[in-house]
Structure 1
């Protein structure tokens, strides 16, 4: 069953050990620590994280079926963080089965099939949220990592959320879900995407949707608006919306800030 869900950003400076300037994302870091405390209180056996930066198939969704998942984030000066997790292949299989029932384009990532200890590489979109939500816990929960294509129809992403929720329910396990993503990426004229007022408008609309527990409105946001805003978390949040359609949850916005060129929102969801 689903015991917790979250929207979590993945800016590198959130993690103190590798931050170029720890003050830059201090507000978000504080919220992520609170998110981690709430996740731990929900006692998940498994944390399912959806990342926009993993191994993404064209017009599909990948799911890692390796024994382990591991990642490293490092800096040129030698600072780094690393983490390794066991993968919940039983829940992976349940999600695959539920996905097939929903006609979803799910693809397994098996690693080297000749090795029983194959490892799924964790990108920053998966590792940074897991660093706060799974890594500190003892015993450490298992993980499931999915990476969806942003080209998929919104309705397909919603159906994926329903499939994940059904798989969690049928598994008999306590499952947490994390929609990893940053918000609009055009907040700074000197940033890689330049400046567009749509980023601020998008981020405020997302915060409003979270606070009103009304993620359904995301289905109606115009594609041009999303393109101008240079969105990231939008697609993973649609999956969360589908999940909540199966398992009603109430969200709380813990923080929002845009200290650099991209916005970051942290939100916690608990079953109603």
Structure 2
């Protein structure tokens, strides 16, 4: 089977990747920022009509996949948000980056209908009005950070649930890929993933040696195109390391068959307390 996406990638979503939100230390995530710019260039060259974004930080429905079906999505990120994520207080917002995107409701509805037909737990999300400017759901940083580097096209946002089995994440991905094929549209895919969050004893989650080991194994699996083997991580290791990328990566694995993963591993770094990596999946 072929890759149904014109371009796909795994990206991180640390806010300081954006130079405007780096709080005067642009060198901190410079390597990742450079990789994100390259991913954005490749996505623009692929010329998608729509981008599907898989995020761990979106609107959550416990035990269900959530799919945005509002007319629009909007949100903002600020230096105040960056400070809050590491437990610091800041009275003013500082530099703020605002986002607004239209939603590809046709593709969103296709995804929801196909998930329901496959007996996958799914929720169709809207807000306020059926359509129009008031039909606007919030955007999270897991979506906004990677989209900052991407072309401004309509999007669909999917948020998984950790209560759903790994097998069903793979099944959801296969269904997503099939619906993209059937739509006839040029669609890009972003799996927004940060990795272990326990790399720094002074970070909000402290330090655990499993963070280093889990990230080491993830890098090896991605370089070998063996994403499905992330299902072998134990619950204890995940609890210790605190990654948030496994579930989105498994959806991508289901959506792009192993033989169609024409991948380029770009970068991995741990500039603060969490791991960040970038991988591209090119259309064949």
Show the counterpart of 2:7: 4
Query: Counterpart of 1:132 in 2: which secondary structure?
Result: coil
Supply the distance in 2 between the matched residues of 1:45 and 1:246 (Cα, whole angstroms): 24
Supply the distance in 2 between the matched residues of 1:23 and 1:198 (Cα, whole angstroms): 27
Runs (4+) of structure 1 moved beyond 6 Å? Answer: none
TM-score, length-scaled by structure 1: 0.94
Tell me by how many angstroms 1:88 deviates. 0.2
Matched, 1:214 2:226: yes
The answer to whether the 8 Å contact 2:55/2:191 transfers is yes
Paired residue for 2:123, among 89, 102, 107? 107
Show the counterpart of 2:113: 97
Structure 2 gaps of 5+ residues are: 80-91
Structure 1 gaps of 5+ residues are: none
Deviation digits for residues 172-205 of structure 1, max 9, x if unmatched? 0011111111000000011111111111111111
Matched, 1:70 2:57: no
Tell me by how many angstroms 1:46 deviates. 0.5
Show the counterpart of 1:24: 28
Show the counterpart of 1:144: 156
The answer to whether the 8 Å contact 2:225/2:258 transfers is no
Q: What is the RMSD of the two structures over their aligned residues, measured on CA atoms?
A: 1.4
The answer to whether the 8 Å contact 1:69/1:86 transfers is yes
TM-score, length-scaled by structure 2: 0.90
The answer to whether the 8 Å contact 1:210/1:252 transfers is no
Paired residue for 1:127, among 144, 153, 166? 144
The answer to whether the 8 Å contact 1:165/1:247 transfers is no
Tell me by how many angstroms 1:248 deviates. 2.1
Supply the distance in 1 between the matched residues of 2:114 and 2:262 (Cα, whole angstroms): 24
The answer to whether the 8 Å contact 1:8/1:179 transfers is yes
Show the counterpart of 2:207: 195
The answer to whether the 8 Å contact 1:6/1:179 transfers is yes
Matched, 1:15 2:32: no
Tell me by how many angstroms 1:271 deviates. 2.9
Tell me by how many angstroms 1:115 deviates. 5.2
Supply the distance in 1 between the matched residues of 2:8 and 2:235 (Cα, whole angstroms): 26
Query: Counterpart of 2:174 in 1: which secondary structure?
Result: helix
